[in-house]
Amino acid sequence: MLQPLLALFLTAALQGASSAQVAAGDGPRFDARAAEHLYNRAGFGANGAEIEAAVARGREATLDLLFPSELPAPLLRDVQNHAYKFVLSSEGALGRDDRPRPPAEDAAEGSMEGSMQESMDEDGAADQAEVEREEALRRDRAAARLADGRQLAEHTNRWLERMVQGEAALVERMTLFWHGHFTSSMQTVGSSYALIAQHELLRKHAVGSFRDLLAGVLRDPAMLVYLDNHRNRRGNPNENLARELLELFTLGEGHFTEEDVKEAARALTGRAVARGEYVFTPRRHDSGKKRILGQEGNFDGDDLVEILLAHPRTSVHIAGRLLRWFEGVEPSAERVEHYAALLREADWQIAPVLRALFADPHFYGPDVVGARVAGPVDFLVGSVRRLGVDAPPLALNLGARVLGERLFFPPSVKGWDGGESWITTSSLLGRGNLAGMLTGSIGVMELLGADLESMASDEDGGMQRRGRRGARTDNAELRELVGRDQGLRDLGRLGRGRWSPELDWKRRLADHWAAGAASESANRASEPGDSDVVGFLLEELLAIAPPPETRAELVQYLAEQRAEFSIPDGRWLTWGQDAEQLLTQLAHRILALPEAQLH
Amino acid sequence: MERRQLLQLGLGLGAAALIPGALARASTRLLLGQKGERRPCLVLVQLTGGNDGLDTVVPYGDDHYGRARRTTALAKNDVLDLDGHVGLHGKLVRLGAEWKEGRLGIVQGVGYPQPNRSHFKSFEIWHTGRAEGRTSGPGWVGRLAQSLHGDQAHPNRLVHIGGQVPYSLHSTAHPPVAFANPRGYRLAGQSGELAPTMEAETSAHEGCEDLPRGARARLEALRAVMRDAQASSAEVRAAAAQHQTKIVYPNTDFAVALSTAAALIAANLGAEVISVELGGFDTHTELRRRHDTLMEQLDGGLGAFLEELRGLDAARDTLVVVYSEFGRRVAENGARGTDHGTAGPLFLAGPRAAGGLFGRHPSLSELDEGDLVHTTDFRAVFGSAAKGLFGADPSQIFDGRYDALPLVREA
């Protein structure tokens, strides 16, 4: 039953034909629960109206809308190559490591080396002109670095805005997937220009061809710098990119030998970066004979791509990662193999494979629905979408960072582990706190202020180099970003008072109550009671239906609070501002539940 | 009803409920269970990225070393001599002083058979003590806790201070708590603490049977974490707030994490394993400059920490172990760096460390495809530490038998 159905979707998608031809009754029932599940996984969650519209439209028409008909427009129009300005005097690569360290920078930070350096300068009676020149250089470099950080923050904000808007949500969700797969970190690359270019490459091919994506990544300046390939030369190979290419990007661990790594590294020699752009230097390329995965020839990087794609493990590895990403649970070997075969049959096109997945009954089954631990971005963007608030994207960016998902700063080349590893005792409390920020219950700086100092250690504990200099600069950049963001100032104690989002619970509750009046018995109360209110907010705010005990406890909580506020029973729609505030408090409490971390 | 009374108690101004009911009770229970009963504490310092062992415990007297590291070798004058053959990296000043006082243990050539050069796989092996890695079950620290306490969990027993929790602390029966900054480790409400969700008091599986089976399993796990979070965060914040020391720690994240560790030990919260991390050891390029900085950071943070521990009565039973996922190639690469390798040295320090040089330095002439051949299995080190410190049975933690090493001083 499953097989012919998948084949049908595959054919339809490959021919570019409208898949509306597929009978609407086929496959799993597309009710509100299924529609919400699809939006949770293929997008970033949905509100009640969106779910209703999707059900009315049907699954196929909803999928048609999810899959983009054209390539996504770049997030920023005019991307500046700031980093180049401050590595001018280096070898020409992008890496921070190449940047000369002016002594003044250390001195400014008051480190031990810095103060020693300072006194040495005094003793040496350095030439005044030289000192001034260095000071000017230091200022230029600092300005370029701040501008570069701003550009990346701006780009990240636009990306988060796209996620919240929900248009072409699947492209952004897949881009987030690739950002953890073909990942690079600003920490190492040190250039927003290169990272933004990489990100747009991932967006362009997000649901396109894995072959094109892989080939593009192996020419991507950010990746070449991140994994040291700009230092991979004939006679002096650097294995970093080759190893991760085999281990993480294609075959998976345990399916290649050390010899394959060495030989693959030789095939990639000569691929480097100059002034932020890709260059191939033939004299640095090792054109000799290589033996990779049992094949022999004078391979270069493009041959390597084909060798890796021809190896059955690559499709298995990618299919497994896609299933884990969208389903949030460990897939069976049979299903991985099945989707790997689809990927090969589709000649590495991603869209038809996802289309098949989103029609797969297992995807809508009890092992998968509600079983995925929402990542920080999933949780924050999803909460914003469900709350219907207009939160500043920088708040989401910093929030994700506090929770361990700092975009463009992955903890290692392996990306983020995801799943249950998102949840620690402190991240679970942090999620509740950030939910309070989104509902306007907690000032943003009350939260982020406390986290400012520890933030750096949250995400950079991985493979990247970082020292006290890194941490300081990081926070300077952060403070600068926070300080100039009007939206964030409105949100936090930097402004006066708290952010008060227009949650308008009473109106929403009234609409919901009125809509229900037509279908339900006429003799119900004229206003909703405590359990109706709790039911409504749970439905609005949670991606999964919570167990009855949770519901009962919230009803009890609400009744107790209502008594404290002296709001009479059954007057939710007509009581004043206190009712609105209490509903917001309830919303915060719901989003702080363990249930709110699943989707 | 008790819960209701607690909820009503602090409800001034109609603000969010303030009473940490379950939390107060949980803390009372913990305090009653733990106070006055000092447990040994193992502090694990992970050097992430593959610490270059030959550039840490330096075989300066070996000609092969100078030949393999043409641009990056340290000379005799650059190191603190240990035995006339090997010496500590020159930036390890405070660790060098510990050595001279007989308080630093160094195990040479630590690794495991069939070394894996992937950061991730190699860490999985170190963290689980098994070649299969994380598919084989909980981490070795989780197994240690299981062997000592069965299923009797206690929230602040296994603590990671930092971001990503190492898999070694992974355990379903003894889930670790984790935080980077004690001050931010709380559930905030509109005017203070948000009352713990009531379901923190309900059992993990209550009501879950109506959920789809995948969601049910996840929710039970999440509820358990929430309970631990609420119980542990108040204690941790209190410990950090009360912590006073004259010791000056360097201003690095690593050192700050260690001073937090000292606060937890001083407060006697019942933490038996505390994990911290120093990253950045993946020195494919510019080994000399980068590794010098890293050694300085390691020495600065660890040196201050050890000094504080010496003055703390509550730290009398503390042992510090410093490890990394692998060493690096013997020969340097074309970028004055070193690529992924195999065996490397481990450090043991703190009040319960027996000082001295243990194990044999691997041969620099008899290499396995350019890499060192390990002379001591890391499971022998962890197993001996667990036995010496906790009286644990290493065979309940690691498969196979490993020689016991006299790494731990008698209490």
CA-based nearest residue in chain B for residue A417: B164
Region of residue B84 (phi > 0: left; psi between -120 and 50: alpha; otherwise: beta):
left
Mean pLDDT of chain B: 87
Element (H, E) at A535: helix A530-541
CB contact under 8 Å between B218 and A461, yes or no, is: no
Q: What is the pLDDT of residue A384?
A: 96
Q: Which two tokens stand for residue A141?
A: 């470099």
**Cβ contact A464–B369 (<8 Å):** no
Q: What is the DSSP string of A537-570?
A: HHHHH-SSPPPHHHHHHHHHHHHHHHHHTTPPTT
Question: Whole-angstrom distance between the N-terminal and C-terminal Cα of chain A?
Answer: 28
Fold entry, domain B40-196+231-396:
Alkaline Phosphatase, subunit A (3.40.720)
Nearest to A194, CA basis, from A219, A213, A217, A221: A221
Cα three-residue angle A391-A392-A395, rounded to 5 degrees: 95
Residue of B nearest to A364 (CA): B212
What is the model's pLDDT at position A520? 60
What's the pLDDT score for residue B24? 39
Chain A: closest CA distance from residue B403 (Å): 29
- Say if residues A315 and A338 touch (Cβ distance below 8 Å): no
Establish if B1 touches chain A: CB-CB under 8 angstroms: no
Q: Using CA atoms, how far apart are residues B15 and B193, in angstroms rounded to an integer? A: 11
Nearest CA in chain B to A548: B207
Say yes or no for a CB contact (<8 Å) between B119 and A412.
yes
**In 10 A of CB A371, how many CB atoms?**
23
Chain B nearest C-alpha distance from A117 (Å): 16
Distances in Å between the Cα of A592 and the Cα atoms of A69, A430, A438, A535, B237 are 37, 9, 11, 16, 20
DSSP letter at A314 equals H
Q: How many CB atoms lie within 10 A of CB A344?
A: 17
Give one DSSP letter per residue of A459-509, joined into a string.
Answer: H--SSS---HHHHHHHHHHHHHHHHH-HHHHHHSTTSSS-------HHHHH
A393-402 helix and A444-459 helix, angle to the nearest 10 degrees = 50
What end-to-end distance do the CA atoms of chain B give, in Å? 48
Under an 8 A CB cutoff, do A588 and B194 touch? yes
Minimal Cβ distance to B163: which of A411, A453, A547:
A411
Place of tokens 């060798």: A307
- Go through chain B and tell me how many residues it has: 411
Residue B318 φ/ψ, nearest 5 degrees: -105, 140
From chain B residues 284-313, the ones with a CB under 8 A of any chain A CB are 284-286, 290, 293-294, 297
Helices (H), A374-443: 376-387, 393-402, 425-438
Cβ of B252 within 8 Å of Cβ of A428? The answer is no
Q: Distance (Å, rounded) from C-alpha B279 to C-alpha B260?
A: 18
Q: What is the nearest CA distance from B405 to chain A, expressed in angstroms?
A: 31
- Report the C-alpha dihedral over residues A13, A19, A22, A26, rounded to 10 degrees: 80
CB–CB of B260/B209 below 8 Å?
A: no
- Give percent of chain B with pLDDT exceeding 70: 86
Radius of gyration over alpha carbons of chain A, in Å?
A: 27
Residue type, A527: E
Note the ipTM here.
0.82
Please give the residue of chain A at the shortest CA–CA distance from B131: A254
3-class secondary-structure state, position B118: coil
Of A258, A404, A426, the CB nearest to B369: A258
Q: Mean pLDDT, 10 residues at a time, over chain A (599 residues)?
A: 48 42 57 95 94 95 91 93 56 38 34 36 63 82 83 94 91 98 91 96 98 98 94 92 96 94 97 92 96 97 98 98 97 98 98 97 95 97 94 88 91 90 90 90 65 40 34 53 61 50 90 78 77 95 90 93 91 91 93 96
Two tokens, residue B381: 């080190």
Which is it for the CA torsion B331, B290, A197, A275, positive or negative? negative
Could B339 and A450 be called an inter-chain contact, meaning their C-beta atoms sit closer than 8 Å? Answer: no
The pLDDT, as a whole number, for residue B348 is 98
Q: Looking at residue A489, what is its pLDDT?
A: 58
Give the distance from residue A506's alpha carbon to the nearest chain B alpha carbon, in angstroms: 18
Decide if B169 contacts B141 (C-beta within 8 A). Answer: yes
- For chain B, the structural domain boundaries read 40-196+231-396
Smallest CA–CA distance, residue A239 to chain B, in Å, is 8
**For the ranges A288-292, A378-382, B104-108, B204-208, which has the lowest average pLDDT?**
B204-208
pLDDT confidence of residue A207: 97
A460 with B279: Cβ contact below 8 A: yes
Contact criterion met (CB < 8 Å) for B14 and A417: no
Contact B214 A550 (CB under 8 A): no
Q: Smallest Cβ distance to A549: which of B7, B119, B206?
A: B206
| Residues in chain A within 8 Å Cβ distance of B285 | 95, 97, 228, 231
Of B117, B257, B297, the CB nearest to A467: B297
The reply to whether B25 touches chain A by the CB within 8 Å rule is: no
User: Where is B318: in which H helix or E strand?
Assistant: strand B318-324
Of all residues in chain A, the one with the smallest CA distance to B251 is A468
Q: Are strands B105-111 and B356-358 parallel, antiparallel or unpaired?
A: parallel
Number of Cβ pairs closer than 8 Å across A and B? 263
Optimal mutation site among B253, B296, B342, interface A, most CBs of chain A within 10 A = B253
**pLDDT value of residue A599:** 96
Burial class (CB in 10 A: 0-12, 13-18, 19+), B199: buried
Q: In the block, which residue shows the tokens 């707030």? A: B241
Chain B residues in contact with A253 (beta carbon < 8 A): 118, 120-121
Q: Considering only CB atoms, which chain A residues are within 8 Å of B183?
A: 450
Range 371-410 of B in CB contact (< 8 A) with A: none
Is B177 close to A429, i.e. CB distance below 8 A? no
A106: CB partners within 8 A, 6+ apart: A113, A114, A117, A469
Q: Would you state the structure tokens that stand for residue B40, as one six-digit string?
A: 């040994």
Distance CA A472, CA A586 (A): 38
Q: What pLDDT is stored for residue A598 in this prediction?
A: 97
> B187 and A420: CB-CB below 8 Å?
no
Q: Is the pLDDT of residue B2 over 50?
A: no
Residue B137: the pLDDT is 86
In which band, very low, low, confident or very high, does the pLDDT at B33 lie, cut at 50, 70 and 90?
very low
Q: Which of A420, A547, A553 has its CB closest to that of B221?
A: A420
Q: Which amino acid belongs to residue B219? A: L
Please give the model's pTM, rounded to 2 decimal places.
0.79
Q: Spell out the SS3 assignment of A49-117.
A: HHHHHHHHHCHHHHHHHHCCCCCCCCCCCCCCCHHHHHCCCCCCCCCHHHCCCCHHHHHHCCCHHHHHH
Q: What amino acid occupies position A174? A: M
Cβ–Cβ below 8 Å for B333 and A236: yes
**B12 close contact with A: CB closer than 8 A:** no
CB neighbours (10 Å) of residue A143?
A: 13
The confidence band for B287, taking pLDDT boundaries of 50, 70 and 90, is: very high
In angstroms, what separates the C-alpha of B210 from chain A's closest C-alpha? 6
User: B171 in contact with A at a CB cutoff of 8 Å?
Assistant: no
Ranges A511-525, B55-69, B225-239: which has the least confidence:
A511-525
Q: How far apart are CA A220 and CA A379, in angstroms?
A: 30
Whole-angstrom distance, CA of residue A202 vs CA of residue A212: 10
Q: Are A394 and A193 in contact (CB under 8 A)?
A: no
Check CB contact of B334 with chain A, cutoff 8 Å: yes
Q: Does the pLDDT at position B78 exceed 90?
A: yes
Cβ of A243 and B207 within 8 Å?
no
Which tokens in the block code for residue A98?
């190449």
CA of B248 vs chain A CAs: smallest distance (Å): 13
Is there a contact between A598 and B228 if contact means CB atoms under 8 Å apart? no
